[in-house]
């Protein structure tokens, strides 16, 4: 078996996940998952040489298949990046939002990565080492009344990261949370103009929207071992949004 480290990046065909996969492919063998956009996944493979694997993170069967594929293909897992997530199909006021949307968001954004981490962590324990990254959001602590289910899913995922960090650090497996802010991806395209106006008005101390590459560089620091005495650390990749000032 090659000694080159192996990473799984979920939701890697587009947006933040794609940026992370491109960055990691420089020195990792990467398994990049996608759900619906085979064309985007294939273009990532052509660009980077990543292995691509179709996986609906909300499906227990798909999660097991992903780990099984990686184990059979590479025999090791050094880094899991829980990036896959979805926004509500329709933004609705919390007083009008549906249970169906709530269930869909929590299955994909919370239950999926939580239990994928369980599978990955138990495999990593066999070697006594590994790193796990949860990509959450500023929505983990910022209320948006027209997408409550998204905020709740990310708040839950933030706690999942803390629990796993606490449980796994004694076994040499380090868990981190990255909280992206307003990142220029297709997920925000419908509200991009509104965000740009708010940023110009002073919403962010750093007066620009973030990029997938900004998030990828934070993952790079973790993957490279630069934060190996920072178990459970939360990295705010948000242009200073988390700062409170008067």
Domain boundaries, the chain: 6-237
- The active-site residue out of 141, 150, 164, 195 is 150
At 191, list the tokens: 């509200």
Average pLDDT over residues 91-103: 97
At 194, list the tokens: 């509104």
Query: 2: closest CA among 76, 53, 52?
Result: 76
Give the bridge partners for 175, in sequence order: 132
Give the per-residue pLDDT at 129: 98
Give percent of the chain above pLDDT 90. 92
How do residues 189-235 score in pLDDT, each as one tens digit? 878 889 899 999 999 999 999 999 999 999 999 999 999 999 999 99
pLDDT tier for residue 57 given thresholds of 50, 70 and 90: very high
Mean pLDDT of the chain: 96
Q: Any idea which of 55-64, 151-160, 188-197 has the lowest mean pLDDT?
A: 188-197
C-alpha 69/C-alpha 86 separation (Å) is 24
Give the per-residue pLDDT at 29: 98
pLDDT at 2 over 90: no
Average pLDDT over residues 111-122: 98
CB burial class (10 A; 0-12, 13-18, 19+) of residue 120?
A: buried
Give the per-residue pLDDT at 236: 98
Respond yes or no: is residue 150 known to be catalytic. yes
pLDDT tier for residue 105 given thresholds of 50, 70 and 90: very high
Give the bridge partners for 9, in sequence order: 32, 81
Sign of CA dihedral 1, 5, 86, 136: positive
At 182, list the tokens: 């307003």
Q: Which comes out higher in pLDDT, residue 245 or 199?
A: 199
How do residues 172-199 score in pLDDT, each as one tens digit? 999 999 999 999 998 778 788 898 999 9
Q: pTM to 2 decimals?
A: 0.95
Give percent of the chain above pLDDT 70. 99
Average pLDDT over residues 29-47: 96
pLDDT tier for residue 101 given thresholds of 50, 70 and 90: very high
Residue 168 contacts residue 132 (beta carbons within 8 Å): yes
pLDDT at 53 over 70: yes
Give the per-residue pLDDT at 75: 97
146-to-37, 71, 110, 151 alpha-carbon distances in Å: 27, 41, 19, 10
Give the per-residue pLDDT at 1: 53
Residue 154 contacts residue 139 (beta carbons within 8 Å): yes
Strands 6-9 and 51-54: unpaired
Please provide the CATH number assigned to the domain covering 6-237.
Answer: 3.40.50.720
pLDDT at 134 over 60: yes
C-alpha 34/C-alpha 12 separation (Å) is 6
C-alpha 135/C-alpha 235 separation (Å) is 10
Residue 184 contacts residue 210 (beta carbons within 8 Å): yes
């Amino acid at each position: 078996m090659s000694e080159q480290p192996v990473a799984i990046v979920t939701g890697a065909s587009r947006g933040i996940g794609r940026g992370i996969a491109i960055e990691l492919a420089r020195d990792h063998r990467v398994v990049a998952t996608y759900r619906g956009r085979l064309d985007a996944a294939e273009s990532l493979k052509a660009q980077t040489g990543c292995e691509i694997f179709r996986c609906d993170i909300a499906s227990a069967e798909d999660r097991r298949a992903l780990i099984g594929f990686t184990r059979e293909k590479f025999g090791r897992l050094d880094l899991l990046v829980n990036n896959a997530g979805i926004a509500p199909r329709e933004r609705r006021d919390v007083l009008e939002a549906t249970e169906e949307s709530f269930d869909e968001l929590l299955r994909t954004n919370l239950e999926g990565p939580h239990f994928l981490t369980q599978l990955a962590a138990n495999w990593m324990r066999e070697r006594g080492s590994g790193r796990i990254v949860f990509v959450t959001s500023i929505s983990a602590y910022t209320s948006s009344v027209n997408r409550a289910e998204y905020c709740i899913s990310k708040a839950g995922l933030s706690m999942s990261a803390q629990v796993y960090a606490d449980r796994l650090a004694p076994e040499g497996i380090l868990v981190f949370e990255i909280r992206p802010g307003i990142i220029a991806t297709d997920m925000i395209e419908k509200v991009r103009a509104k965000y740009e106006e708010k940023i110009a008005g002073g919403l962010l101390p750093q007066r620009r929207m973030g990029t997938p590459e900004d998030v990828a560089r934070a993952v790079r620091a973790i993957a490279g071992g630069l934060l190996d005495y920072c178990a459970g650390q939360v990295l705010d990749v948000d242009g200073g949004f988390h700062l409170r000032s008067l």
